[in-house]
Protein backbone atom coordinates (compact mmCIF):
# COMPACT_ATOMS: atom_id res chain seq x y z
CA UNK A 1 0.00 0.00 0.00
CA UNK A 2 1.29 3.47 -0.87
CA UNK A 3 1.38 6.55 1.32
CA UNK A 4 -1.22 8.17 -0.97
CA UNK A 5 -3.58 5.26 -0.48
CA UNK A 6 -3.15 5.43 3.29
CA UNK A 7 -3.89 9.17 3.23
CA UNK A 8 -7.02 8.46 1.22
CA UNK A 9 -8.10 5.89 3.83
CA UNK A 10 -7.73 8.55 6.55
CA UNK A 11 -9.68 11.07 4.46
CA UNK A 12 -12.44 8.51 3.90
CA UNK A 13 -12.66 7.95 7.64
CA UNK A 14 -12.87 11.71 8.31
CA UNK A 15 -15.62 12.00 5.72
CA UNK A 16 -17.50 9.29 7.57
CA UNK A 17 -17.10 10.57 11.13
CA UNK A 18 -17.34 14.29 10.34
CA UNK A 19 -19.57 14.56 7.26
CA UNK A 20 -19.95 18.33 7.76
CA UNK A 21 -16.23 18.99 7.26
CA UNK A 22 -14.79 19.76 3.82
CA UNK A 23 -11.89 17.40 3.15
CA UNK A 24 -11.11 18.58 -0.38
CA UNK A 25 -7.76 20.27 -0.81
CA UNK A 26 -6.32 19.27 2.58
CA UNK A 27 -2.60 20.07 2.81
CA UNK A 28 -0.71 16.91 3.82
CA UNK A 29 1.95 18.72 5.84
CA UNK A 30 -0.44 20.91 7.83
CA UNK A 31 -2.10 19.69 11.04
CA UNK A 32 -5.60 18.37 10.40
CA UNK A 33 -6.82 20.38 13.38
CA UNK A 34 -5.69 23.61 11.74
CA UNK A 35 -7.62 22.82 8.58
CA UNK A 36 -10.81 21.41 10.02
CA UNK A 37 -12.86 21.57 13.18
CA UNK A 38 -11.68 18.31 14.75
CA UNK A 39 -11.20 17.68 18.46
CA UNK A 40 -9.72 14.89 20.55
CA UNK A 41 -13.02 13.00 20.45
CA UNK A 42 -12.82 12.98 16.64
CA UNK A 43 -9.29 11.59 16.72
CA UNK A 44 -10.55 8.83 18.99
CA UNK A 45 -13.02 7.99 16.23
CA UNK A 46 -10.29 7.91 13.59
CA UNK A 47 -8.44 5.39 15.76
CA UNK A 48 -11.66 3.44 16.31
CA UNK A 49 -12.37 3.20 12.58
CA UNK A 50 -8.79 2.22 11.74
CA UNK A 51 -9.23 -0.72 14.08
CA UNK A 52 -12.73 -1.63 12.97
CA UNK A 53 -12.27 -1.26 9.22
CA UNK A 54 -8.61 -2.19 8.81
CA UNK A 55 -7.53 -4.02 11.95
CA UNK A 56 -4.87 -1.38 12.63
CA UNK A 57 -4.15 -0.67 16.29
CA UNK A 58 -2.97 2.78 17.38
CA UNK A 59 -1.95 2.85 21.06
CA UNK A 60 -2.91 5.98 22.99
CA UNK A 61 0.67 7.25 23.25
CA UNK A 62 0.88 7.28 19.44
CA UNK A 63 -2.21 9.49 18.87
CA UNK A 64 0.05 12.51 18.15
CA UNK A 65 1.34 10.62 15.09
CA UNK A 66 -2.05 11.27 13.50
CA UNK A 67 -1.68 15.06 13.54
CA UNK A 68 -1.40 15.61 9.78
CA UNK A 69 -2.11 13.51 6.68
CA UNK A 70 1.65 13.21 6.09
CA UNK A 71 2.35 12.07 9.65
CA UNK A 72 -0.59 9.67 9.37
CA UNK A 73 0.84 8.04 6.28
CA UNK A 74 4.40 7.98 7.71
CA UNK A 75 3.08 6.21 10.78
CA UNK A 76 0.36 4.01 9.31
CA UNK A 77 1.81 2.84 5.98
CA UNK A 78 4.29 0.39 7.58
CA UNK A 79 1.44 -0.89 9.74
CA UNK A 80 -0.77 -1.49 6.70
CA UNK A 81 2.07 -3.17 4.82
CA UNK A 82 2.94 -5.37 7.78
CA UNK A 83 -0.53 -6.87 7.88
Question: Is residue 39 at the binding interface for another protein, with CB under 8 A as the rule?
Answer: yes
> What are phi and psi for residue 38, nearest 5 degrees?
-115, 140
Among 1, 11, 18, 26, binds another protein (CB under 8 A): 18
Count other C-beta atoms under 10 Å from residue 76's C-beta: 23
Residue 52 binds another protein (CB under 8 A)? yes
Could you tell me if 28 and 68 are in contact, meaning their C-beta atoms sit under 8 angstroms apart?
A: yes
17 near another protein, rule: CB under 8 A = yes
64 binds another protein (CB under 8 A): no
Least gap, CB of 4 to another protein (angstroms): 26
Q: Which of 25, 59, 82, 83 binds another protein (CB under 8 A)?
A: 59
Q: Closest CB to another protein among 11 and 18?
A: 18
Rg of the chain over CA atoms, in angstroms?
Answer: 12
Alpha carbon 7 to its chain centroid, in Å, reads 7
DSSP 35: H
Amino acid sequence: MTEDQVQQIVIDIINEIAPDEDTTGLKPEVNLRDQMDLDSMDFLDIVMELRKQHGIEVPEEDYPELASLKSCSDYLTPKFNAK
